Structure 1
Amino acid sequence: MRIVKLLAKLLVKIIIFLAILIAIILVAFNWPVQSKNENMEFGVSFSDVQARALDMDWKSTYIEILTDLKPKKMRIAAYWSDIEKEPGVYDFSNLDFQVEQAEKYGTKLVLAMGVKVPRWPECFIPEMYAEGENDKPLSKKVLREDAVLKFEKALVERYKDREIIEMWQVENEPFLSFGHCIEGALDKQIVEREIAQVHKLDSTRKIMTTDSGELSLWRDAASRADIFGTTMYRIIYKGAKWYDGYVHYPIGPNFFRIKAKLIGKWINSEDIVISELQGEPWGPGWIKTMPIEEQYKSMSPQKLVDIAEFARRTKFKETYVWGVEWWYMLKYQRENSDMIEAAKQVITKREEK
């Protein structure tokens, strides 16, 4: 009986200790931040895949973004499954268009490549390199890795002389288990080979890798490239058996500052960017059909302005806002330009100061 009482007291002490520790951590993460980067540059991420999924004319939308929002920087993606329909045959026409228009309007580009690039389902592997029922996983993996390296070589050689491309991005959140992807399609070894090849092909540009801001420790991605990009979300929807509803991340800008210091051994804080700042809803359904009232629960014009202010307080140097396709979908399919006006307040007007 005495042992039981001692164990009970010990358990209570452990619980109290953990509660105090968690409280201290939360206070540190949410400690008010007064200083901010008033000169933070805001660009956008654009996906022709996402624009088509929203039933939009992606080319006219892309041009309107360049002429209406006038972003100085934009992140675009090379979708491997769209570009290589036949082994070794590459159709870069969509990318050619995006690069040419960016040159015309003077918008610097980050070009993402790899197995995983921005937008759902995250992995874009050509069907002939996916694993079939009768395939040997190891042989298919070797074939796939060889193919992605050849694809990226062709990509870099095609665009490395285009000055409008400011930086390469190799893979998107490669070490985060998120999205629909073939098991084992990405590991540290292939990511390192990809980065090494791009560096060899083009030593004049820096390479960015990315990771989740809230769900990752950053080390694996940050230690392998020149620039590290983090995601930054404030409100998401969690549909699970144990909880079904919206989650407000209980963290402040200090959370990201602390993480930046923790990875200082591998990368300087001035080489950290926000590669994906929440600028569209994360709700219980597909944004094309979701009621605007539901969409605004996780992203609205005011929420965009607020999260931009949150981003400035991390003091990172630049940000790429996520969701530009949705803003223009609202304009043309819902007759609602409020998100575009809010984005101009964040992007265009600030840059014109």
Structure 2
Amino acid sequence: MGKFLLILLIFFIIIFSGQLIFNKFISTNVSFGVTFSQKYATELNLDWKKVYLSILDDLKVKNLRIPTYWDVDDLSQVDFMLDEAKKREAKVILTLGIKQPRWPECHIPKDIKSLPVGERQRLALEYIEKVILRYRDRSEIAYWQVENEPTLDFFGHNCDRFDEEFLKKEVELVRDLSDKPIMITDSGELGAWETPMKLSDIFGISVYRKVYNPTLGYASYPLLPYFYNIKSKLAGNKKTFIAELQAEPWFYNNFAVGTETAEQVKLFSPEEFRENVNFAKQTGFSEIYLWGVEWWYFMKEQGQPEYWDFAKTLFN
């Protein structure tokens, strides 16, 4: 038993020493961005345009990830966001496809949900083409993101099983219509990364520190920051950055509205926000997009401005 504990101790010393050594070689020059969902801001009973303009003018964010929800199909909303970003010389990652940021993950129009998978996919490709043709000449768009964590097919509502051939068709369509780089994302903790990294020009990962499972409750991943960088190199070593860093609570009921403010602070404190940012900086990736900007604004409106104020220090 004593020998086993000694081996275990040596193992942990090696692991933690690896992070300390890694920290000596990583760049501290990190740029931050945010994902913004007009749909989620509206669900929080916020004026989404007011929130978006505050992100640009108060936080002074210069890097944005914006969805083009298929089930919204009101591209005037996207027009507005791109126009305002361009005025402020901000850069945008525009997401395409069925699976996009925010619950229910797969944003499929009601009249299309009941169609056979093949027909849904055909119509999805038509919508992707419509979006690209509308925006491909926009200089503020830096990358196209094709789907959002497409290989993570067990997460989301009304989502089909991951179809690699369909993802290839989407990527091929985007390449035929535009020469802008393509980004695909995967779960930092649960994804294998190989397929999305192989199909994309730029690879994005999500990093979540505290998650919820109906069986286990809340839990944290026992991973050190440099794990993600090593995993990137092993998976193909394509340009990788953090497309989604947890900066809001993981709600067990999926809803912020209706949850007491004190409970929300308990689920994700300002200190946890700072810790997550420091953790992400130690991954060695030079770009970090934060997840939760709508919630920071919501909390500011509830008398908890600490999240919004801390974010200001990152962008200013």
CA distance in 1 between counterparts of 2:224 and 2:17 reads 4
For the 8 Å contact 1:81–1:127, the answer to whether it is kept is yes
Number of aligned residue pairs: 309
For the 8 Å contact 2:93–2:145, the answer to whether it is kept is yes
1:207 aligns with 2:182: yes
Deviation at 1:300, TM superposition (A): 2.2
* Shift in alpha-carbon separation, 1:29–1:171, aligned structure 2, 3 A: farther
For the 8 Å contact 1:30–1:252, the answer to whether it is kept is no
Residues 59-208 of structure 1 correspond to what in structure 2 (within 5 A)?
59-83=49-73, 91-131=74-114, 140-176=116-152, 177-184=154-161, 186-203=162-179, 205-208=180-183
Match of residue 245 from structure 2: 277
* Shift in alpha-carbon separation, 1:237–1:22, aligned structure 2, 3 A: farther
Gaps of 5+ in 1: 1-11, 84-90, 349-353
1:185-204 CA-to-partner distances (Å, cap 9, x unmatched) read: x410111110111111111x
CA distance in 2 between counterparts of 1:169 and 1:197 reads 13
Q: Which runs of 4+ in 1 moved over 6 A?
A: 20-23
Match of residue 296 from structure 2: 327
CA distance in 1 between counterparts of 2:13 and 2:34 reads 30
Given the alignment, which residue of 37, 44, 53 partners 1:54? Answer: 44
* Shift in alpha-carbon separation, 1:123–1:214, aligned structure 2, 3 A: same
Gaps of 5+ in 2: none
| % same residue | 39
1:290-349 CA-to-partner distances (Å, cap 9, x unmatched) read: 2333323442222222211111111112011000000111112x122111111112222x
Q: More displaced, 297-306 or 315-324?
A: 297-306
For the 8 Å contact 2:226–2:284, the answer to whether it is kept is no
Aligned residue for 2:72, secondary structure, equals helix
Aligned residue for 1:247, secondary structure, equals strand
CA distance in 2 between counterparts of 1:26 and 1:126 reads 52
CA distance in 1 between counterparts of 2:258 and 2:313 reads 27
Kindly name which structure, 1 or 2, has the bigger radius of gyration based on alpha carbons. Answer: 1
CA distance in 1 between counterparts of 2:191 and 2:117 reads 26
Whichever residue aligns with residue 114 of structure 1, its letter is G
How large is the Cα RMSD of the aligned pairs? 2.3
1:207-230 CA-to-partner distances (Å, cap 9, x unmatched) read: 000010111121121111011100
Match of residue 234 from structure 2: 262
Deviation at 1:26, TM superposition (A): 9.9
For the 8 Å contact 2:184–2:197, the answer to whether it is kept is yes
Whichever residue aligns with residue 99 of structure 1, its letter is L
Q: More displaced, 68-77 or 26-35?
A: 26-35
Q: With structure 2 as the length reference, what TM-score do the two structures score?
A: 0.91
Deviation at 1:126, TM superposition (A): 1.3
